[in-house]
Structure 1
Amino acid sequence: MFTDTSSSTTVYLLTERDSILAPVCKQLAVFGFEVIPFDHATALLAAMHGKAPFAVIVDGETPGLDLDFHVPLIKRLAKGPLFLSSVGEPVSRQIALLRLGVTDFVARPLPLQKLVARLDELLDQRRPEPFRVLVVDDSESMLRWLDKVLRGAGMEVFKTRSPLDVLLLMERHRPEIIILDVYMPECSGDEMAHIIRQQPRYDGIPIIFFSTEVSRNKQLVARSMGGDDFLVKDTPPDELVTAVSITCERYRRLRQWMTRDSLTLLLNHSTLVEQLEQAVQVCQRNREHLTFAMIDIDHFKSVNDQYGHLTGDHVIQSLARMLRHTAPTQALIGRYGGEEFGIALPGIAPVLASRYIDAVRQQFKAFPQSGNETVFSSTFSAGVSTLAAGMTTQQLMENADLALYQAKRNGRNQVVLFNEAEHHAPPVTPGRRIDDPPGR
C-alpha cells in the first residue's frame, strides 16, 4: 500500500572529468537520481541509442562539443528535458539554442536546489493529476455534453443542476475550476460567483461563465461579479478544452507559489494546518480514520554546524522527497517549520500509518547524505496521533507533538504512537536507540 510510486530516473551528464560540474553526480544521487557522466558527446549519443534518459544535462564548456551540431542530435534521442549549463549566453543565442532543442538553461556552476526542484516538477508533469472541474448548468443535456468533452480530455468532472449545491460540492471535491451557467432558475451564475468569492478559501478558484449570452456588455457585467472568463455555448469542444486547461494550469502554478514551501515543495505551515482542519471536519462527519504524524530530524543543528547549512538543506530536501514519493495520494504533507514535518493520512488507521512512517524512517536512515566530502546518515523521530470523536485539530496536533517528545526522550530514531491513557506509548521500533542525550 505504501510503496514508492516514483519511476526510476536516470540523468545523463556531459562534462569533462575535472569540470566544476563533475560533483553533480554525487549531489543528485543524494536526491534519488541516477547520474551517468560522459566526457565526450559521441559516448553520450551512443548511450542514448541504447537507453533514453529522463533528462540530459550538457556542460557548454565540454571540449569537442559543437552545440549547433550536437544539440539537435541529443534532442532527437532524448524523450525528456535537455538542460544546458553555460555562462552568460546572450538572449539571441539562447533563442537559437531553444530552437535547436534546449529546454532549460542553468547557470554554471549548477544551482543544485533549483535544479532538483525543476527535475521534480518535470517528474510531476510526467505523471500529471487530472484537472478537477465542477460544472453547474440547469440543462441535463448540456451537463452530459460538458461531461463527455472534458472527461474525453482526461479531466475529472463533477456536475450539478442546482447552483445551491455548489459550496457543498466545492468542499467535497476541491475543484480547480468552475464552469457556471449564467441563466438558471434558482439563482443567476453571476450571483453564485459573488457568493463563492465571499469565501476566503475559494477566492482564487477560476470561474468560467458558459452561456448563450452574446452581448459583450452583459458578459463583462457578469465577469465583474467574480468570473475569470466568458465562453458562449457554441464554443467548439477543442477550444473549450484548451481554455479550461490553460486556466487550470495557471491556477495550479499560482497556488503552488502561495501554498508550497520553496525548499521542499511541500505544503507550507499555514496551508498544512488549514487543509488538516478541513480533513478533520470531513473525517469527523463521516466517522473515518485520520492519523497525523509529526516528524523531526534528529540532531539537525549538529548537521548544520558540522557540514554547513547547504548540506542541512539537502538533508531536509531528501526527507521531503521521500515523503512526497512514498505517501498515499490522499496524504497531506507539509513542512511544519525548520527540520520539522507534518503528515496527515485521512482514511488510514493509526497502526498502518505508524508502520508507514517507520518504513520511511528506515529508508531515511539508510539514505547516504554527503557533506564536506564525507558520507553520513541522518535519522528522524516521529509522533503519531489519531482522531477521536469530538477532538479538535489543535488536540490532534498536540497529541502528535507529545508522542514526538516521547520518541526523543526514548533515544530518538523511532516512531511513537500516542496513547491517551498513558500520555505516551512504547515506540513502534522498540530497542532502537541512539547513544546521545535526550531532547531535540
Structure 2
Amino acid sequence: MSIFTKRLIYFVAPNIEQFAEIGRQLHFFGFEYKAFNRNSALLAAMHSEKPCAMVIDETGMSDISTLECLPLLKKLYAGPLFLANFGLGVDAQLAFLRAGITDFIAQPLNLQAFIDRIDLIDEQDNPSPFKVLLVDDSDTAAKWTASVLSGAGMVVKHIDNPLTVMPYLANFKPDILLLDVYMPECTGDEIAKVIRQTPQFDSIPIVFLSTETHRGRQLMARSMGGDDFLVKNMEPDELIAAVTITAERYRRIRRWMTRDSLTGLLNHTHVIEALSREVTRAHKESRPLSYAMVDIDFFKRINDQYGHSVGDRVIKSLSRLLKQSMPNPDAVGRYGGEEFALIWSDHTLIRAAQRTDELRVLFQDLAQSNADGHFNASFSAGVAQLKDGMTAQQLIDAADQALYQAKAAGRNQIGLSSNR
C-alpha cells in the first residue's frame, strides 16, 4: 500500500497565489492541493500528510532556495518531485537531478500535461495485479501453482473443469490463462482451439502446463493455439517470471487494441462491446441500464478558432473528467471525434440524466487554456434507458436521438429519450 495520499499535490514557491487557479482546476479532476512559501510549514506538513506529487518553483521559497531545501526534503519524501522552471541549461538540470528532482515541467504550468505525467507515474508505480485463470484437474498441482503466483501478488482463480472455462473468461477477464494439457474432459490443446474460435478471447495468452517434456509434443500443443509451454513443478521464480513477462506483454497489446490513442478511453469498437455485455446482463438479471451520448458543443469552432492542438486538449480534459467521475472507468469510451459514450449500469433514466448533468456542469466550469488565456467549453448529451427487448444498437440510437434534441434546444443541456 502506498504511503502517499493519492490525490494530494503540494506546490512550493515564493508566491503561492500563482497556484490558486491551478488548484481550483485540479479539483475538477479529483485532486486536492496545498501551497507553501516557507520551509518550516512545508516540513511540518510532510510529517503529517505526504502528497502524491510535489511541484517546486526553481527559485524555492521565500526563506530558502530549492537546492538548499532538497537534501532534507528527500529524506522525508520518496515521491515524484517536479521542478517548475522557465527553461534551464543542461548544467542546471544536472544539479537539480543530483539534488533529488525527478522531473522538470515548464512554467507557466500546463495543467493537462502535468496531470498526464502524474497519471503515468501512478500507473507505473501502482500497477493492478495480474489476473491468472488456472485450469487444472489436479487439485494438488493447482494449489502449488496458485500459492506461488498469489505469493507474487497475482490474483489467481482455479477451475478444475475445462468445459466451464468460457464464462470465467468473460467474467473474470484474466490477463493470462494457464491450461493443463491432460484432463479427463478434454485435452488442453482442444479447449485452446475452442477458445481461439471466439473473437473476444482470440488474443488472450494461453500457456500450457504439463509434465510433458517431449519437445515435439510441446510444439504440437502450441500449434493448437497456445503461446507457451511450461513444465509443471518448475522453479517458483521461473514460473513467476514466465507468467509476468507474458501477462505484461498481453496488457500492452490489449491496451493498444482497445484504447483510443488520444484519451486512453475505450475506443469505438470496444465501448460498444462493453455496452452489449451490459445489455445482456441487464436483460438477464432484470436490472436498470441507461446510456448517454455526449458531444462537445461547437467543437469545429474551437478547432478553427484556437487550433487542433487546443481541440485535442479539450477532448483530453473531458475524457479525464468522465473517466475519473464514472463509477467504473471502463464504462466510458470515445465514440468518435468529439463524441463520448457513458454506460450507466444500474441507473434509471432520471438518475443517469442527473449524473450526466453533474458532469456537464463540472465541464463547463473547467478553464481551457489557449495561447491568449482561457476559455470555457460545454457539452450536450442524450440519455436513454434500456427497455424490454431492446438491443444495444437500439439503445444507442435512442440516446443519439435524445442528443439531437438537446442540440436543437440550444446545446449545453441534457436530452432525454422520448421512449420512456
Shift of residue 412, structure 1, vs aligned partner: 2.2
Residue 141 to residue 354, structure 1, CA distance change in 2 (3 Å): farther
Does structure 1 retain, via aligned residues, the 8 Å contact 2:30–2:324? no
Instruction: Report what 2:345 is aligned to.
Output: 346
Instruction: Report what 2:173 is aligned to.
Output: 174
Residue 27 to residue 368, structure 1, CA distance change in 2 (3 Å): closer
Residue 353 to residue 27, structure 1, CA distance change in 2 (3 Å): closer
Q: Output the CA distance in 1 between the equivalents of 2:386 and 2:266.
A: 21
Alignment map for 1:159-308 (pairs within 5 Å): 159-237=158-236, 239-308=238-307
Letter in 2 for 1:234: N
Specify the SS of the correspondent of 1:416.
strand
C-alpha RMSD of the superposition: 4.1
Does structure 1 retain, via aligned residues, the 8 Å contact 2:310–2:369? yes
Describe the superposition over 1:109-144 as per-residue Cα deviations: whole angstroms up to 9, x where unpaired.
988755533322333456654433211111233334
Q: Which moved more, 1:73-82 or 1:103-112?
A: 103-112
Taking only the aligned residue pairs, the percentage that are identical comes to 48
Letter in 2 for 1:300: F
Letter in 2 for 1:273: I
Q: Output the CA distance in 2 between the equivalents of 1:246 and 1:290.
A: 38
Q: Output the CA distance in 2 between the equivalents of 1:197 and 1:104.
A: 44
Residue ranges of structure 1 left out of the alignment (5+ in a row) = 1-6, 18-22, 422-440
Q: Output the CA distance in 2 between the equivalents of 1:57 and 1:221.
A: 56
The TM-score, its normalising length taken from structure 1, stands at 0.75
Q: Output the CA distance in 1 between the equivalents of 2:390 and 2:6.
A: 41
Residue 184 to residue 323, structure 1, CA distance change in 2 (3 Å): same
Q: Output the CA distance in 1 between the equivalents of 2:239 and 2:98.
A: 29
* Residue of 50, 53, 67 corresponding to 1:52: 50
Q: Output the CA distance in 1 between the equivalents of 2:256 and 2:11.
A: 30
Does structure 1 retain, via aligned residues, the 8 Å contact 2:378–2:412? yes
Does structure 1 retain, via aligned residues, the 8 Å contact 2:266–2:330? no
More helix per residue? 2
Does structure 1 retain, via aligned residues, the 8 Å contact 2:294–2:340? yes
Q: Which moved more, 1:353-362 or 1:33-42?
A: 33-42
Alignment map for 1:23-172 (pairs within 5 Å): 33=31, 48=46, 51-56=49-54, 74-83=73-82, 115-124=114-123, 128-172=127-171
Q: Which moved more, 1:136-145 or 1:174-183?
A: 136-145
Specify the SS of the correspondent of 2:293.
strand
Q: Output the CA distance in 2 between the equivalents of 1:87 and 1:220.
A: 56
Residue 226 to residue 99, structure 1, CA distance change in 2 (3 Å): farther
Does structure 2 retain, via aligned residues, the 8 Å contact 1:9–1:54? yes
Does structure 2 retain, via aligned residues, the 8 Å contact 1:11–1:33? yes
Residue 353 to residue 186, structure 1, CA distance change in 2 (3 Å): same
Residue 32 to residue 346, structure 1, CA distance change in 2 (3 Å): closer
Q: Output the CA distance in 2 between the equivalents of 1:351 and 1:240.
A: 50
Letter in 1 for 2:333: G
Q: Output the CA distance in 2 between the equivalents of 1:230 and 1:410.
A: 61
Q: Output the CA distance in 1 between the equivalents of 2:279 and 2:252.
A: 26
Instruction: Report what 2:392 is aligned to.
Output: 393
Instruction: Report what 2:18 is aligned to.
Output: none
Q: Output the CA distance in 1 between the equivalents of 2:162 and 2:76.
A: 51
Does structure 2 retain, via aligned residues, the 8 Å contact 1:283–1:290? yes
Specify the SS of the correspondent of 1:370.
strand
Instruction: Report what 1:405 is aligned to.
Output: 404
Does structure 2 retain, via aligned residues, the 8 Å contact 1:136–1:159? yes
- How many residues are matched? 409
Specify the SS of the correspondent of 1:275.
helix
Does structure 1 retain, via aligned residues, the 8 Å contact 2:279–2:392? yes
Shift of residue 295, structure 1, vs aligned partner: 0.7
Q: Output the CA distance in 2 between the equivalents of 1:167 and 1:406.
A: 41
Q: Output the CA distance in 2 between the equivalents of 1:237 and 1:151.
A: 11
Specify the SS of the correspondent of 1:209.
strand
Letter in 1 for 2:407: K
Q: Which moved more, 1:399-408 or 1:360-369?
A: 360-369
Describe the superposition over 1:167-214 as per-residue Cα deviations: whole angstroms up to 9, x where unpaired.
232123322210111111222222322332333332221222222223
Letter in 1 for 2:7: T
Letter in 2 for 1:198: Q
Residue 88 to residue 239, structure 1, CA distance change in 2 (3 Å): farther
